[in-house]
Structure 1
Amino acid sequence: MATERWGTVRRWHRRLFFSARGRATLTTVAVSTLILGLVFVLLMVLAREWAESKVWRKSERTVERVVTDIVRGRYEDVLDTEPDETSLVQVLGPDGVVVAESVGLSGRPPLAADDVLNDKMIIDRASCPDFLEGCVWIFGTRLRTSPWGPGVTVIAATPLPTLLHVWLFPASLALVMVALLALIAWWTWHTIGRVFVPVDEIRAEMAEFSKQGLGHRVPVPKTGGVRLQALAETVNATLERLQEATERERRFVSDASHDLRNPLAALQTQLESALDEPDDYDWQPMVVSALGDTRRLNNMVVDLLELARLDSRAPVPIERIDLAGLARREVERRPPRIPITTDLEPDVTVQANPVRLARVLGNLLSNAERHAVDGIQVTVERDGGDAVLEVLDDGDGVPDESRERVFERFARLRESRTRDPDGTGLGLPIAREIAEVYGGTLRIDDSPAGARFVLRLPLLLKDAPKDAPKEDPQNAPNDGANEGPTEDPRDSSKDDGGG
């Protein structure tokens, strides 16, 4: 029992002092306590001032009535109080001795003998004489002539409200303040709790993802404010992107495993067959075939590593590149298999990594060479704020419904598989990823014949610095330059999936 009680205390301690709801409630209660305390003091002061002002008015009006009656020559029963009066009346002579009094003060000592002896013309103060039950407010004034002789002082005493001097009024006011403070604390706790209900629902739903999978979505609250709705929508959008990324990675792993398995299986079969052959068997053709499978595996591994670096957005050095000069160099180094014509506008500069950008153009040219019939056209030009590089072949082209599919990893059209059965289907995806890394796009546009691949990159202004700041080369990938005995990374002739 004691353990349960202690656990409850600890739980409430955490809720009050370590939760946003508890801290907000405590802060509100503390501020409200300070404000209510100031209000309590102010009300007490105002109540006192109001009570003193009220009894002062009563004493003054009583003295005013008595003096008025004397001036008018009405002396009989002049000291008797009116039905609505609560004041007691006393008349003191110049020597401070009582010469007349109302019934309530009959036989009582003088109320303000010292003031009279000090020749005060007006008496206006509180007094708490021992012969009265409580404190009174006395007001008095001196008269030249009166029925009791010259120089007498008429004094009226009005009892002060007893609630100001006992516990009832402060206690009642404090009780009201405590009740109001409790109401504020409950309202704050309840309101903040209702605000956090959608957050708790989102948290509970997210805790169920391990059971329900990434396809599950958190509820979007209808109440709780725009920010909570935006939070739920952002969580759902993030989950959707995460689900898409997970599915894409799952397909990528599946396709990569399938494509890696084929050359590995062929290589294993060739090696096992070679071991079964007699000693005088001519192994050279079989070794050449195995070497081809090994190169294909190496190319695929290089492409996979490049995709991994692109996906992680690993930093690489960037610099100012003349797109026309890069295109001219890449065209000149191509083997003379298909004639390539160029239309290169000078001074079209971009900011990128030269090795990666050369790889984009190399992949596009390799893809065009496989599907071209008579020639390839390479164009570099400006278009507004973009630098545009186009590679156009005169082959069969790409159907409209397959223009996005060719940029999917390991996706290869039937014609591409026929023309190059050893391709990996990673060249065009790599090219698009590189374009997007540098803020550009790569897509297939309409053309009268063949496939027209259009690369767009942000154009670098002439007044821009010649060399952009480079990141630490130790943190940059080597873009396949040191991956072992591979082909030039800028000539990935077996990477495409287009036509």
Structure 2
Amino acid sequence: MATARRGTIRRWRGRVLFSVRGRTTIVTVTVSALILVLVFVLLMLLTQDWLENRVWRRSEHTTERVAADIVRGRSAAALVTEPDETRLVQVITPEARVVAASEALRDDPPLVSEETIKGKLLVDRRSCPDFMDDCVWIFGTRLRTSPWGPGVLVVSATPMPTLINVWLLPVGVSLIMAALLALIAWWTWHTIGRAFVPVDEIRAEMVDFRARGLGHRVPVPRAGGAIQGLAETVNDTLERLEEATDRERRFISDASHDLRNPIAGLQTRLEAALGEPDDYEWRPMVESALRDAQRLNEIVVDLLELSRLDSRAPVPVERLDLAALTRREVERRPAGVPIATDLEPGVPVRANPVRLARVLGNLLSNAERHATDRIEVTVARDGAEAVLEVLDDGSGIPPEARERVFERFARLPESRSRDPQGTGLGLPIAREIAEIYGGTLRIVDSPVGARFVLRLPIPDEREDRSGNGESPR
């Protein structure tokens, strides 16, 4: 029982002190308590001031009424106080001698001393006489004539209020404020708890991902706000992770398939060569094995390039003239399908020259596989973009397959028939490089053949001056 109690205490201590819900409640209650204490102090000061004003008015009213009765000749009845008046009244001579007093002050010394009233026509002050338990507010006025002679002072005194005297008010206010603090604490704890219910549901659903897989989605609350945005972001992230996992799975499957064929062919040819007699003409078999090895090398090189692109490792970049780079790459191509160029000079881009040359090489290799008689390459400026187009006069690519050719290892039937040894990675690599440098690579409509359009941003002078020579991605 004691162990369970200690465990419960530790659990609640953790919830109160270390959880967002608990810390928020503590901060809210603390701030509210400080505000309520300030309100309490101000309320008590205002109450004290109001009570003192009430006491002063009571003393003033009593003095004025008694003085008026004495002046009218009703001195005998003047000192009989009314219910709304103070019961402490004295008539004091200039020598500070009491000549008349109300019942409550009979036989008591004067409320004010001779030094206090000497030469004064009006007394309005707080006083704490020795013969009284409480301090009083004294209001007095001097009469020119009276039954007791000239210059007497009519004085009324009302006990000063204290919060002890009116203890019910501070106690009541304190109880109300304590109730408000309790209500604030409960409301904050309850509200924060309800606000985090969707978060707890999201966490509980994410715990089950190992059993349910990435195809599972967390519930999305429809109340709007940050939590709905969090749930939608989690689901979007899960969707991207699922797509990335599926893409990786397909990638591994396709890579294994493409690697298996040349490896099997190479192994078969080498085993066959070893089984032949010593005088066997082995050169054609070795040449075939060499082609398989070259294909393996091409696949491995493409896979390594894709790995580097996926990691977004920074590589050196520089300002390039796209037309000059294109001219060099076209001139390096082996003799084959004629390539016509229309290159606008002075179209700059910022990129790694090796990677950009690979993009152009992959586009030209693809065009050479499908072209019939001619390939056209153009470079031009289009506003703030540099545009490179590669057009062949082949059979073209159907609109529904234009995005599929950019998938890894995806190859159309015509491509397989024209180049059985292709890897299906050239165009995906080209698009990845284009996107790394903030550009795009798309297939657009063309009257004949396939038109690949590469667009890259043209850097301004400030970007060139502030560039650090490293790719940002």
Residue identity opposite 2:409 in structure 1? F
- Whether the aligned pair in 1 keeps the contact of 2:136 and 2:159 (CA below 8 Å) is yes
User: What residue is the counterpart of 1:453 in the other structure?
Assistant: 452
User: What residue is the counterpart of 1:442 in the other structure?
Assistant: 441
- Give the stretch that moved more between structures: 299-308 or 418-427: 418-427
User: What residue is the counterpart of 1:324 in the other structure?
Assistant: 323
Cα displacement string for residues 331-386 of structure 1 (whole angstroms, at most 9, x for unaligned residues): 22222122222222222222211111111121122222222222222222222222
Residue identity opposite 1:305 in structure 2? L
User: What residue is the counterpart of 2:369 in the other structure?
Assistant: 370
1:336 aligns with 2:343: no
- Give the stretch that moved more between structures: 370-379 or 104-113: 104-113
User: What residue is the counterpart of 1:479 in the other structure?
Assistant: none
Cα displacement string for residues 77-127 of structure 1 (whole angstroms, at most 9, x for unaligned residues): 121112433433222334433322223333444333455675554333445
- Whether the aligned pair in 2 keeps the contact of 1:388 and 1:456 (CA below 8 Å) is yes
Instruction: Report the secondary structure of 2:13's partner residue.
Output: helix
Residue identity opposite 1:152 in structure 2? V
Contiguous gaps of at least 5 residues in structure 2: none
- Give the stretch that moved more between structures: 444-453 or 296-305: 444-453
| Cα separation, 1, equivalents of 2:50 and 2:164 | 11
Instruction: Report the secondary structure of 1:422's partner residue.
Output: coil
| Structure with more contact order per residue of length (Cα contacts < 8 Å, sep ≥ 6) | 1
**Aligned 1:180-329 pairs, distance under 5 A:** 180-223=180-223, 226-329=225-328
Shift in Å, 1:215: 2.1
User: What residue is the counterpart of 2:11 in the other structure?
Assistant: 11
1:431 aligns with 2:437: no
| Cα separation, 1, equivalents of 2:169 and 2:126 | 20
| TM-score normalized by the length of structure 2 | 0.91
Instruction: Report the secondary structure of 2:320's partner residue.
Output: strand
Residue identity opposite 2:299 in structure 1? M
User: What residue is the counterpart of 1:402 in the other structure?
Assistant: 401
- Give the stretch that moved more between structures: 196-205 or 403-412: 196-205
User: What residue is the counterpart of 1:71 in the other structure?
Assistant: 71
| Cα separation, 2, equivalents of 1:14 and 1:309 | 46
- Give the stretch that moved more between structures: 86-95 or 319-328: 86-95
User: What residue is the counterpart of 1:379 in the other structure?
Assistant: 378
Residue identity opposite 2:171 in structure 1? A
1:60 aligns with 2:60: yes
- Whether the aligned pair in 2 keeps the contact of 1:318 and 1:351 (CA below 8 Å) is yes
1:267–1:395 CA distance, 2 compared to 1 (3 A) = same
1:114–1:276 CA distance, 2 compared to 1 (3 A) = farther
1:139 aligns with 2:139: yes
Shift in Å, 1:128: 5.1
Shift in Å, 1:330: 1.9
1:459–1:97 CA distance, 2 compared to 1 (3 A) = closer
| Cα separation, 2, equivalents of 1:189 and 1:118 | 67
User: What residue is the counterpart of 1:393 in the other structure?
Assistant: 392
Shift in Å, 1:456: 1.7
1:39 aligns with 2:39: yes
User: What residue is the counterpart of 1:483 in the other structure?
Assistant: none
- Give the stretch that moved more between structures: 148-157 or 111-120: 111-120
Runs of 4+, deviation exceeding 6 Å: none
Instruction: Report the secondary structure of 1:324's partner residue.
Output: helix
Shift in Å, 1:72: 2.0
Shift in Å, 1:431: 1.2
| Cα separation, 1, equivalents of 2:368 and 2:466 | 33
- Give the stretch that moved more between structures: 101-110 or 158-167: 158-167
- Whether the aligned pair in 2 keeps the contact of 1:48 and 1:164 (CA below 8 Å) is no
- Whether the aligned pair in 2 keeps the contact of 1:59 and 1:87 (CA below 8 Å) is no
| Cα separation, 2, equivalents of 1:134 and 1:383 | 96
User: What residue is the counterpart of 1:156 in the other structure?
Assistant: 156
Instruction: Report the secondary structure of 2:144's partner residue.
Output: coil
Shift in Å, 1:54: 0.9
- Whether the aligned pair in 2 keeps the contact of 1:141 and 1:153 (CA below 8 Å) is yes
Instruction: Report the secondary structure of 1:378's partner residue.
Output: strand
| Cα separation, 1, equivalents of 2:285 and 2:375 | 36
| Cα separation, 2, equivalents of 1:313 and 1:129 | 91
- Whether the aligned pair in 2 keeps the contact of 1:142 and 1:151 (CA below 8 Å) is yes
Contiguous gaps of at least 5 residues in structure 1: 477-499
- Whether the aligned pair in 1 keeps the contact of 2:375 and 2:391 (CA below 8 Å) is yes
Residue identity opposite 2:68 in structure 1? T
- Whether the aligned pair in 2 keeps the contact of 1:90 and 1:155 (CA below 8 Å) is yes
- Give the stretch that moved more between structures: 342-351 or 411-420: 342-351
1:321–1:467 CA distance, 2 compared to 1 (3 A) = farther
Cα displacement string for residues 445-470 of structure 1 (whole angstroms, at most 9, x for unaligned residues): 22222222222222345897499542
| Cα separation, 2, equivalents of 1:374 and 1:177 | 92
Residue identity opposite 2:395 in structure 1? D
Residue identity opposite 2:444 in structure 1? D
- Whether the aligned pair in 2 keeps the contact of 1:360 and 1:434 (CA below 8 Å) is yes
Shift in Å, 1:309: 0.8
Cα displacement string for residues 266-318 of structure 1 (whole angstroms, at most 9, x for unaligned residues): 22222333343344433333222222111111110000000111111121111
Shift in Å, 1:404: 1.2
Residue identity opposite 1:46 in structure 2? L
Shift in Å, 1:67: 0.8
1:81–1:360 CA distance, 2 compared to 1 (3 A) = same
User: What residue is the counterpart of 2:350 in the other structure?
Assistant: 351
**Aligned 1:467-478 pairs, distance under 5 A:** 469-471=468-470
1:141–1:245 CA distance, 2 compared to 1 (3 A) = same
- Give the stretch that moved more between structures: 252-261 or 29-38: 29-38
Tell me the percent identity.
Answer: 70
User: What residue is the counterpart of 1:23 in the other structure?
Assistant: 23
Instruction: Report the secondary structure of 2:214's partner residue.
Output: coil
- Whether the aligned pair in 1 keeps the contact of 2:95 and 2:114 (CA below 8 Å) is no
Instruction: Report the secondary structure of 2:77's partner residue.
Output: coil
User: What residue is the counterpart of 1:481 in the other structure?
Assistant: none
1:332–1:242 CA distance, 2 compared to 1 (3 A) = same
1:385–1:124 CA distance, 2 compared to 1 (3 A) = closer
Cα displacement string for residues 414-441 of structure 1 (whole angstroms, at most 9, x for unaligned residues): 1111111111111111111111111222
- Whether the aligned pair in 2 keeps the contact of 1:218 and 1:236 (CA below 8 Å) is yes
1:336–1:123 CA distance, 2 compared to 1 (3 A) = same
User: What residue is the counterpart of 1:486 in the other structure?
Assistant: none
1:462–1:135 CA distance, 2 compared to 1 (3 A) = closer
- Whether the aligned pair in 2 keeps the contact of 1:386 and 1:457 (CA below 8 Å) is yes
- Whether the aligned pair in 2 keeps the contact of 1:21 and 1:193 (CA below 8 Å) is yes
